[in-house]
Structure 1
Amino acid sequence: MPALAELPVSRVHRVGEKRAEALATLGIETVLDLVTHYPRRYIDRTRQASLAELQPGDEAVVLATVQASSTRRTRQGRALVEVDVDDGSGRLRVGFFNQSWRARQLPVGTEAMFFGKVDLYRGRRRMTNPVVDLVGNRTGRIVPVYPTSERSGVGGWEFGEWIDEALRRAGELLDPVPPQVRSRLGLMGRTEAFRAIHAPQSFDERDRARHRLAFDELLRLQLQVVRRRIALERDARGLRHVVDPPPERALVARFLAALPFSLTDAQRRAVEQIDADLAGPLPMHRLLQGDVGSGKTVVALAALLTAVQGGHQGALMAPTEVLAEQHYLSVQRLLGDLTVPDPGRLSGTRPLELALLTSRTPGAERARLQQGLQRGEVDVVVGTHALITEDVLFSSLGVVVIDEQHRFGVEQRAALRAKGRQGGGADPDLLVMTATPIPRTAAMVVFGDLDVTELDELPPGRAPVSTHWARTAEDEQGAFERIRAEVASGRRAYVVCPLVEGSERVQAASATAERERLAHGALGGLRLGLLHGQLKAADKEAVMAAFRAGDVDVLVATTVIEVGVDVPEATVMVVEDAQHFGIAQLHQLRGRVGRSDLPSWCYLVSDADSPEAVRRLQALESSTDGFELAEVDLELRGEGTILGVRQKGRSDLKLASLRRGDRSLVEAARTVAEELLGEDPTLHGVPGLAEEVDLLVGEEDAAFLAKS
């Protein structure tokens, strides 16, 4: 494959300069790009609807040949191309409005697939503006249909001819997957797989070809992940934490004992797994994921306090200032009046020192904090990227927790390691938290160099949230009536403002206007508070304190309430223009209610009718399981949103899927990657494989795999 990547696509006959330029608009510049431009679907010639049996109102795919073609203008001045097509059983007229180029695309004698709805016009059956796929001169029973674009001017049928020639002239392709692995997994050879994906003799052969080539894509990704992990472990400077200290230093035990609730079994298992990592010789690299409300913060805080009880420091890093401030307030409440040993004090102890550091921290306060961190006087710091700037030095950074990890890059992780190594120290242990679950299969790829801990259990006494999609004005009125009824019963509610494009200032203005609208309308007479990202930290806390105390009935807010806000008395949430939010964000927002044994409701206000919005809102209406919703989200949005923004996309997953169907393939690729690198860390004994990984998943392109 590396050899094919060096050949320009113009080496294929009939791909001249103009055709090469057209292909470049589709991202096809080399012969490798061409042969990995896979069909988007396949046509079974024996399974198409016959024209003779089509009835008005039928939606169908027909395979037919153009018998006649004409172009004219309608009375309204629109261009109309009409072609008569025949499949041997009958005829059909196909019309295209304002698509003059169809006359050039569909000359007499052209065989094509037409997909559309049949109607009657002047007593004659007709299809209007159907989807068209050109078949060309391919005579096999199964016809591949290739992705193309009108802008490129490349016909889908041309790909079949070009790819057939390229594979024929390339001859036998080097197969870097060892024969014993292919045999064990039942994989067909690579040369056969490329032929069968483009020109299958049967659908079973096509499926086996896809299975083999998808495995190759996943194996390359997993080899890079495992290789990176081996390198990290080889270069690591570990720190063995004290997880079972004498009573006077047992900070974690005192913290857990003081909590006003008991840990769930899942939380206990998570703490045990993390303790085992912290006590070990290698730095921890662990992903902690759980559903909304599953108690990730408590588990993360136990890890940070393990560092403190051993004389080190802990850092919790969030992607935004708003999230950092919310974490700080949440951690502050959980820590209470926890103390740490201090021989310099008469009492022998001092309060545990918690600090917040963001770009909003005033200069004098920042200087004091930096001094405290460098001297070891600050035990736990919560912050944003400000924590990894050059002027922030730690006395001994022991554990780092990163929240919303996918927003951080590989450079940030390197910077955090450097913070730990200052003054001859060790690599800090790393715990990554996701705000909402991501599918398990995707986690194996995206977070492949992390061990995974899942909190799959919610605290007892939580009532499930009843979710309703409010489609009409009457439904929306019902939602606000629910708020009034709950407030009358002493409960509280949230109204989440529509997501507005633009800066935090624009969001704040929108939220302010919405509060005024509600105060003089649907929620008139109730005490309405306002929370948005532009408020100063003290003002935010004052609003939240009033809401918690019951001095505010309804909190009108932007998505700043997405995480970290815990008010058990809040039982209703109304999300306005819900179609603008993603599944994960809506699920996260919904997690702000249902935090007690009181019945709770979430209303998603939206009149959207696009298929994706409908599927998204229906999924939230029918499920409160974050793992299940993560799978739906992946199916709707595709792998790209999870893999993140990539470098030039040769290595994008073209056949493999991170959806449920390929889970076993991901796991098989991981196992093979670990076996191959375990026996031969350089892959020198596997001809071509290392070169292929470097070509298709190069270091830069693989950075997304190590964002932790």
Structure 2
Amino acid sequence: MKLNEDVEIIKNIGPARANHLRRLGIYTVGDLIEHFPREYEDRSIITPIAQMEEGGIYTICGICGNIKTSGFRQRIVTRMMVKDDTGEAELIWFNQPYLKDAFIKGEEYYFTGRAEPKNKYPVILSPDYEKKREHQLNSARIVPIYPLTYKITQKLLRGLIRDAIDYAFSDIEEYFPEEILSSYVLMDRREAIENIHFPSDEKMFFSARRRLAFDELFTLQLSLMLMKGKIKRSRSDVSIKNTDTSEFILPFELTSAQKRVMEEIKKDLEGPCAMYRLIQGDVGSGKTAVATLSCYMAINNGYQAVLMAPTEVLAAQHFNSINALFSKLGIETVLLSGSLKKREKEETLLKIENNQAQMIIGTHALIQERVNYHSLGLVITDEQHRFGVKQRSALARKGKAPHVLVMSATPIPRSLALVLYGDMDVSVIDELPPGRKSVETFGVDSRYRERVYCLIKKEIERGRQAYIVCPAIEEGETLDIKSVITYAEEIKKRYLPEFSIELIHGKLKPSQKETIMDGFLKGEIDVLVATTVIEVGVNVPNATFMLIENAERFGLSQLHQLRGRVGRGSDKSYCVLISDSKSKITAQRIKAMTKTNDGFEIAELDLKLRGPGDFFGIRQHGLPELKIADIYKDKEILTEARKAALWAYDNYDKYKGLKRRIEILMPGNIDI
């Protein structure tokens, strides 16, 4: 198939040029054709020379006159006069002496550039140019602007893509069945490829873009459905008839939002199909309490419940809090993680297999082959964005269609939730427990650092604790970023010598992390200097101050997650973001953090600023990349593409072209 041939098959691409193209991810003819423009320049309007005004960018069509060069070495100036029916203009290029032989006197050419101040004639400096012919590529049309690399120019790349489309046009396959094309009024794929690169007019461009954005959003959602296996639709052998939780006493009253979500979960558990539900809630909204009650219902009906957390620190915290509640009811809770000693692990595995352990908490060690569950009824994944799709589904496959509950403290805009969780029911806990106060947030530069240390000192003297977060862990790991290790030593010696300061980061042994976190929870440590290992789930109500160094290194949602480690008690809490970055995006992020504590509002802005690829890690999931579609802007197309993907999932085996397309985009990731 021509689309799969090496890009060197295209004329004017030799080994050296092919090597340059590889920097853009272009290896095959198909890659070249799908290297889509990042923007466009409208050169379709031809301006008479006499109507050009200083400072404007124009495309003119003129007859070449005399051309001459002057100067020497690095100061060569090439000048040429052109004329049309309205007047003459002077074109000037610097250090391009070869242009003296590039034009034919008396022939018509198009020129595009900025009009400069004129003396006798209007002047255009360093204009793009193209000879007038029947079909223009770089002028007198809407012109594509591409991402470039070393030694590849816009003009060159346009020509290569034009040649590639002409070479492989007949091999561009229409993989959508007629039902989808007609239902959603989609342009043919060949026509869309042609018009996304070289649109004949604005209407054709928008039709092409809609078709290709639809393609990307459709294949992304269908791929996710195929990877997940549509767990929601499977009937379950897990029968939970008794959902009464009156005997299980929590140490606090549930909020109305928690009660509403519990009713939704009870309805799912009592139904004939396996529950597949996402619980979204901002940091501190009480998702763990809802999860614990759900586990109790499963256990009370004779099943085992499993809670998988992304880190050992968080898993240990869940174990401590849930075990304290369940042990009073005679429910045995065990913790399974990679750091257990061999004997402890063997004992834990045996308890799980013989049903002695009814509540199992752990990390991804829970999905290892050696773990055999006796009667798995409920699977809960905490901080789901830390796990790949395959890890989550592997845990669910440990039982016979168990109920599945997924928790996320990373608020996700509805448009994005449609993509990631299109086949799940979604519950939102949109209410914080009584007494919770918003965290007062400030953005400053490094000149204020010592003043911030004084504020930390005052909080500690009041009996409170503080976090200091840095993005790197070793000197030299990333240039210009505070090192956690040397930074912690500096804090101890210079700024807060009278207080207890400890350091925690991802390279410590699990036992060391657990000891440090336990000391911080007990109030034995005043300041915890940390990396993002404390980003999720860590719950120390006495911590009221957070300082985040090099705030520009974190995404907006990540900053919000970090801030969520304070403000978990009834005392006023503070978060200070330090950054010397001059970036506009950094300024927008910090401003948003100071204006709102609403995680969903922050998530919307984060999606807008960063784009969806960064937001949920398309590469991490191994999912098709979004080159054209914008989840934030293309919400309407997204909704239509989801409906089409749901239909295609149910009719998948009927359409070979569609299957081939998914196999190309997702090699080895889907069992088809």
Same fold (TM over 0.5): yes
1:414-433 correspondence to structure 2 within 5 Å: 415-420=394-399, 426-433=400-407
Counterpart position of 1:344: none
**Are residues 221 and 585 of structure 1, via their aligned partners in 2, closer, same or farther at CA, if it must alter by over 3 Å?**
closer
Counterpart position of 2:106: none
**Are residues 407 and 547 of structure 1, via their aligned partners in 2, closer, same or farther at CA, if it must alter by over 3 Å?**
closer
Counterpart position of 2:642: 670
Counterpart position of 2:282: 291
Contact between 2:231 and 2:274, CA under 8 Å: does it hold in 1? no
How much does 1:376 deviate? 1.0
2:672 paired with 1:700? no
Residues of 1 paired with 2:545 and 2:117: CA distance? 48
Question: Amino acid of the residue matched to residue 535 of structure 2?
Answer: E
Structure 1: state its 5+ residue gaps: 74-78, 97-101, 340-349, 421-425
- Determine which of 328, 331, 346 is the counterpart of 1:338: 328
SS at match of 1:254: coil
CA-based RMSD of the aligned residues comes to 4.3
How much does 1:603 deviate? 0.6
Residues of 2 paired with 1:497 and 1:319: CA distance? 20
1:58-97 correspondence to structure 2 within 5 Å: none
1:506-545 correspondence to structure 2 within 5 Å: 511=484, 513-532=486-505, 543-544=516-517
Question: Amino acid of the residue matched to residue 328 of structure 2?
Answer: L
Counterpart position of 1:466: 440
Identity %: 37
Counterpart position of 1:342: none
Contact between 1:134 and 1:156, CA under 8 Å: does it hold in 2? no
How much does 1:361 deviate? 0.7
Contact between 1:316 and 1:381, CA under 8 Å: does it hold in 2? yes
- Determine which of 215, 237, 260 is the counterpart of 1:239: 237
How much does 1:468 deviate? 1.3
**Are residues 306 and 118 of structure 1, via their aligned partners in 2, closer, same or farther at CA, if it must alter by over 3 Å?**
farther
Per-residue deviation, residues 44-92 of structure 1 (Å, max 9, x unmatched): 126899996446xxxx76658997677865xxxxx67766688978657
Residues of 2 paired with 1:185 and 1:463: CA distance? 48
Deviates more, 1:443-452 or 1:543-552: 543-552
2:373 paired with 1:380? no
SS at match of 1:273: helix
How much does 1:539 deviate? 6.4
Residues of 1 paired with 2:486 and 2:28: CA distance? 54
**Are residues 265 and 113 of structure 1, via their aligned partners in 2, closer, same or farther at CA, if it must alter by over 3 Å?**
farther
**Are residues 576 and 9 of structure 1, via their aligned partners in 2, closer, same or farther at CA, if it must alter by over 3 Å?**
closer
How much does 1:511 deviate? 4.4
Contact between 1:69 and 1:82, CA under 8 Å: does it hold in 2? yes
Counterpart position of 1:259: 251
How much does 1:590 deviate? 0.4
1:105-254 correspondence to structure 2 within 5 Å: 108-109=102-103, 137-138=136-137, 139-151=139-151, 155-159=156-160, 161-162=162-163, 165-166=166-167, 170=170, 174=174, 176-178=176-178, 181-182=180-181, 185-227=184-226, 232=231, 236=234, 238-245=236-243, 250=244, 252-254=245-247
**Are residues 232 and 244 of structure 1, via their aligned partners in 2, closer, same or farther at CA, if it must alter by over 3 Å?**
closer
**Are residues 483 and 12 of structure 1, via their aligned partners in 2, closer, same or farther at CA, if it must alter by over 3 Å?**
closer
Deviates more, 1:186-195 or 1:528-537: 528-537
**Are residues 82 and 517 of structure 1, via their aligned partners in 2, closer, same or farther at CA, if it must alter by over 3 Å?**
farther
Counterpart position of 1:457: 431
Question: Amino acid of the residue matched to residue 141 of structure 1?
Answer: R
**Are residues 537 and 329 of structure 1, via their aligned partners in 2, closer, same or farther at CA, if it must alter by over 3 Å?**
farther
**Are residues 322 and 23 of structure 1, via their aligned partners in 2, closer, same or farther at CA, if it must alter by over 3 Å?**
same
2:323 paired with 1:324? no
Contact between 2:32 and 2:164, CA under 8 Å: does it hold in 1? yes
How much does 1:398 deviate? 1.6
Residues of 2 paired with 1:103 and 1:265: CA distance? 76
SS at match of 1:176: coil
Counterpart position of 1:588: 561
How much does 1:643 deviate? 4.0
1:97-108 correspondence to structure 2 within 5 Å: 108=102
Contact between 2:110 and 2:140, CA under 8 Å: does it hold in 1? no
Contact between 2:274 and 2:404, CA under 8 Å: does it hold in 1? yes
1:273-284 correspondence to structure 2 within 5 Å: 273-284=264-275
Counterpart position of 1:346: none
**Are residues 552 and 199 of structure 1, via their aligned partners in 2, closer, same or farther at CA, if it must alter by over 3 Å?**
closer
Residues of 2 paired with 1:71 and 1:336: CA distance? 87
Contact between 2:40 and 2:145, CA under 8 Å: does it hold in 1? yes
- Determine which of 398, 410, 416 is the counterpart of 1:442: 416
2:306 paired with 1:305? no
TM-score by length of 2: 0.81
Structure 2: state its 5+ residue gaps: 104-108
Residues of 2 paired with 1:95 and 1:259: CA distance? 77
Residues of 1 paired with 2:210 and 2:635: CA distance? 12
**Are residues 135 and 606 of structure 1, via their aligned partners in 2, closer, same or farther at CA, if it must alter by over 3 Å?**
farther
Counterpart position of 2:391: 412
Per-residue deviation, residues 214-246 of structure 1 (Å, max 9, x unmatched): 112222333344455666567x5623342535x
Residues of 1 paired with 2:618 and 2:389: CA distance? 13
Per-residue deviation, residues 97-144 of structure 1 (Å, max 9, x unmatched): xxxxx77799855967669x9999xxx9998xx9x9777843433222
Residues of 2 paired with 1:156 and 1:702: CA distance? 34
SS at match of 1:287: strand
Contact between 2:228 and 2:393, CA under 8 Å: does it hold in 1? no
How much does 1:43 deviate? 1.0
Residues of 2 paired with 1:329 and 1:87: CA distance? 82
Contact between 1:325 and 1:537, CA under 8 Å: does it hold in 2? no
